[in-house]
Amino acid sequence: MSIRTHYTDAPHKDRHDLSNIKRIVPFLWAYKGRVSIALSFLILAKIATVAVPLVLKEIVDLMNKETLVLMMPITLLLGYGVLRLLNVLFSELRDTIFARVRYQTMRDLSRKVLSHLYSLSLQFHLERRTGGISRDLERGTRAVSSIMNFLVFNIIPTLAEFVLVAFLLLGDYSVEFTFVTFTTVLVYVGFTLSVTNWRMHVRHQMNRLDSSANAMAVDGLINYETVKYFNNDHYEINRYDNTLYEWEEAAVKSQTSMSLLNLGQGSIIAVGVTMMMFYATQGVVDGEMSIGDLVLVNALMLQLFIPLNFLGIIYRSMMHSLADIDLMFVLLDKKSAVTDTENAQDLQISQGVVRFENVDFSYQPERQILKNVTFEIPAGKKLAVVGPSGAGKSTLSRLLFRFYDVDNGRVTIDGQSINNVTQKSLRNMVGIVPQDTVLFNESIYHNIIYARPDATKEEVYQAARLANIHDFIQQLPDAYDTVVGERGLKLSGGEKQRVAIARVILKNPKILVFDEATSSLDSHSEQIILSSLADVAQQRTTLVIAHRLSTIADADIILVLDQGQIKEQGTHQELLTAKGLYSRLWRIQLQEKNSKNDSSK
Ligand SMILES: Nc1ncnc2c1ncn2[C@@H]1O[C@H](COP(=O)(O)OP(=O)(O)OP(=O)(O)O)[C@@H](O)[C@H]1O
Ligand SMILES: [Mg+2]
């Protein structure tokens, strides 16, 4: 299904999941101290565990000697109890010490992913699916935490325990035990590895489907209004459910194969244990072993196979976790299309001259959007761009912000190519009222002060006044605390635009971009704002994009952009006399205005 590939990333193909471990080790390494303390507690706990059956053997053997029947082996019994207690104590200490490592790493990693996401270019974010990414992130950090646990607490110690027990068991008893033990272990390991690896693709598939389903659900909910306008609830739910159905199939397959794996592992161990007990009983019957020996062999054997079985389970869970991490690492490996050059300096603005020099640009190679665009906005002047929809006007502002790199030519500010300065300093100096204002689902106050978090309350109010929205906000029941809803949808289009204007006024940048900044306003409000914007824009280099020509007639330079090319350039008067596209557009808009006036009389 094409939908799915569209919704999520493919896993790392040319790499085995195990290589993801390499990326987790450094996180552990950062906490060497804590990890080693936790490990010491773990070893102590293990020693206590292994000592228990040894003491038990002594007790059993003592009880068997007739002379001592009437005397209780008090010390041994106490020792037995203390050892059990120590085991618990050390295990808990270990967990307490390790908790910090675990949770701090989860935090570090989540922050790293988020900051990486912010460093990626707009291109990536226009294509991403929020719901899918949040799922990958959540699954990934959880998995990292469990892998660290596995590594430190399970794999290494269980292996150690395994070796220790094997040593005890094999040292003291006959070769049959050695043989049975080794064979069982080998068969067990071989079986586990091969079946687990075979199962991994199911896990990857499950994860992809899970992210897809989530991405669809979130996308649908974000567009709630549209879904309802077209009565498409069922369509959305079905799409979601179809993906979930595939997920269900994969999950059932995963569970079934896991049961088979467990069954296989259990059978191998059952056979091994039975053979060992068989030899041990034989030993007692033949008088070569004491009953205590029999008990010890049984206990050690269980202690040998329990960790072995555990290793099998751990290996499986670990492979699951590694699969879960994969999509997160795919994300972390994404490179940003726009990056600072190695020795990028901060942008220095003295006058604020903006130049586009022979700029070619395309979003996709097959379709060129801007063709050889050259213009200059002199310091402190106002340049307006007009032209039909899709001509590439908003693209100019995206290039000025360096959301994309130009294909040819360059964009400069006071002679510095924006490709050579830091993105941060560039974006500090430029402010925009975008064509579609989207707000955070927070209070109006938050949305305005977002431009400059250290601004004072009075500055925020002043900005709102200049944007002609202060009075409106004040008469809302919650005034500045009014929460604006998802993407600001609880405000009208014109209100949102004015919040955006207030925001840019507060930012107070050297260079201003207004992309249809007043298009949603009625003529009256527009006039009020235009005059305050004129104040704000004084002494600032300004790029204005507009459809309503009356709003830009006073611009110092007007560009007519059509299909990515500059067709005309000049002042309002010059362009009218030239009788080109601009004067045609002007006449049409004038007629519209007049007929409107006539009809309203
Ligand atoms: N991220 C993108 N990927 C591919 N094509 C894009 C992307 N963004 C815009 N375009 C295309 O680039 C062209 C120019 O877009 P732009 O937004 O600059 O138009 P505009 O002149 O601002 O139009 P309008 O007046 O309607 O706002 C459009 O045809 C649009 O489809
Ligand atoms: Mg536009």
- Enclosing domain of residue 433: 354-600
Confidence of residue 51 (pLDDT cuts 50, 70, 90): confident
CA nearest ligand 1 atom 25, residue: 389
Interaxial angle between packed helices 32-64 and 156-172, expressed in degrees from 0 to 180 and rounded to the nearest 10: 30
262, 395: one domain:
no
Domain count, the chain: 2
135, 262: one domain:
yes
Nearest to 288 by CA among 175, 164, 167: 175
* Among the bound ligands, the one closest to the CA of 515: 2
299, 408: one domain:
no
Phi-psi label, residue 361: left if phi above 0, alpha if psi -120 to 50, beta otherwise:
beta
Please name the amino acid found at residue 169.
L
DSSP string, 210-225: HHHHHHHHHHHHHTHH
Kindly list the protein residues whose Cβ atom lies closer than 6 A to any atom of ligand 1. 126, 363-364, 369, 389-395, 435
Task: Give a yes or no: residue 3 inside a domain.
Answer: no
The rounded Å distance from CA 393 to ligand 1 centre is 8
Task: Give a yes or no: residue 342 inside a domain.
Answer: no
CA nearest ligand 1 atom 11, residue: 390
Inform me whether the pLDDT recorded for 601 exceeds 60: no
Q: What pLDDT does 385 receive?
A: 92
Using alpha carbons only, what angle is made at residue 555 by residues 553 and 557, rounded to the nearest 5 degrees?
115
Task: Give a yes or no: residue 186 inside a domain.
Answer: yes
Dihedral (CA of 276, 282, 284, 287) sign: negative
Task: Give a yes or no: residue 48 inside a domain.
Answer: yes
Please give the helix or strand (H or E) that residue 408 lies within, else none. Answer: strand 408-413
Dihedral (CA of 100, 102, 106, 109) sign: positive
The rounded Å distance from CA 394 to ligand 2 centre is 4
CA of 435, closest atom in ligand 1: 27
97, 162: one domain:
yes
d(CA 219, CA 170): 61
Beta bridge partners of 213: none
323, 379: one domain:
no
| Residue ending a domain, choose from 333, 364, 380 | 333
Inform me whether the pLDDT recorded for 400 exceeds 80: yes
Nearest to 120 by CA among 404, 398, 396, 342: 404
CA of 123, closest atom in ligand 1: 1
CA of 516, closest atom in ligand 1: 27
- Count of beta carbons in the 10 Å neighbourhood of residue 410: 16
Please name the amino acid found at residue 51.
A
pLDDT tens by residue, 508-543: 888 989 888 777 777 777 887 787 777 777 888 999
281, 368: one domain:
no
Q: What pLDDT does 4 receive?
A: 37
Does this model's pTM top 0.85?
Answer: no
86, 182: one domain:
yes
The rounded Å distance from CA 184 to ligand 1 centre is 66
pLDDT tens by residue, 429-486: 899 988 888 888 888 999 999 988 898 899 999 889 888 888 889 898 888 888 888 7
Residues with CB under 5 A from ligand 2 (ion): 394, 435
447, 520: one domain:
yes
Mutate which of 122, 363, 364 for ligand 1 pocket (most atoms within 8 A of beta carbon): 363
CA nearest ligand 1 atom 31, residue: 390
* Among the bound ligands, the one closest to the CA of 395: 1
Q: How far is CA 92 from CA 99, 113, 307, in A?
A: 11, 31, 19
Mutate which of 120, 356, 394 for ligand 1 pocket (most atoms within 8 A of beta carbon): 394
User: Which residues, including other chains, have CB under 8 Å from residue 533's CB and lie 6 or more apart?
Assistant: 501, 514, 517
Task: Give a yes or no: residue 497 inside a domain.
Answer: yes
CB 437 within 8 A of CB 499: yes
Inform me whether the pLDDT recorded for 382 exceeds 80: yes
pLDDT tens by residue, 200-234: 888 888 888 888 888 888 888 888 888 888 888 88
d(CA 186, CA 183): 5
Q: Both tokens of residue 96?
A: 């307490």
Please name the amino acid found at residue 66.
E
Strands 541-545 and 382-386: parallel
The rounded Å distance from CA 514 to ligand 1 centre is 16
307, 382: one domain:
no
Query: Domain containing 30 — which CATH number?
Result: 1.20.1560.10
d(CA 87, CA 198): 37
Query: Domain containing 584 — which CATH number?
Result: 3.40.50.300
294, 366: one domain:
no
Beta bridge partners of 408: 360
Mutate which of 128, 393, 567 for ligand 1 pocket (most atoms within 8 A of beta carbon): 393
CB 589 within 8 A of CB 581: no
| Residue ending a domain, choose from 299, 333, 367 | 333
**Percent of the chain scoring above 90 in pLDDT:** 7
Q: How far is CA 314 from CA 72, 143, 154, in A?
A: 42, 13, 7
Q: Both tokens of residue 208?
A: 């992809």
Inform me whether the pLDDT recorded for 62 exceeds 80: no
403, 529: one domain:
yes
The rounded Å distance from CA 279 to ligand 2 centre is 84
* Among the bound ligands, the one closest to the CA of 547: 1
Backbone angles phi, psi at 402, to 5 degrees: 55, 45
327, 358: one domain:
no
Task: Give a yes or no: residue 62 inside a domain.
Answer: yes
Beta bridge partners of 558: 384, 570
- Long-range residue pairs from 178-182, CB within 8 A, at least 24 positions apart, any chain: 180/272, 180/275, 180/276, 180/279, 181/272, 181/276, 181/304
Task: Give a yes or no: residue 363 inside a domain.
Answer: yes
Task: Give a yes or no: residue 382 inside a domain.
Answer: yes
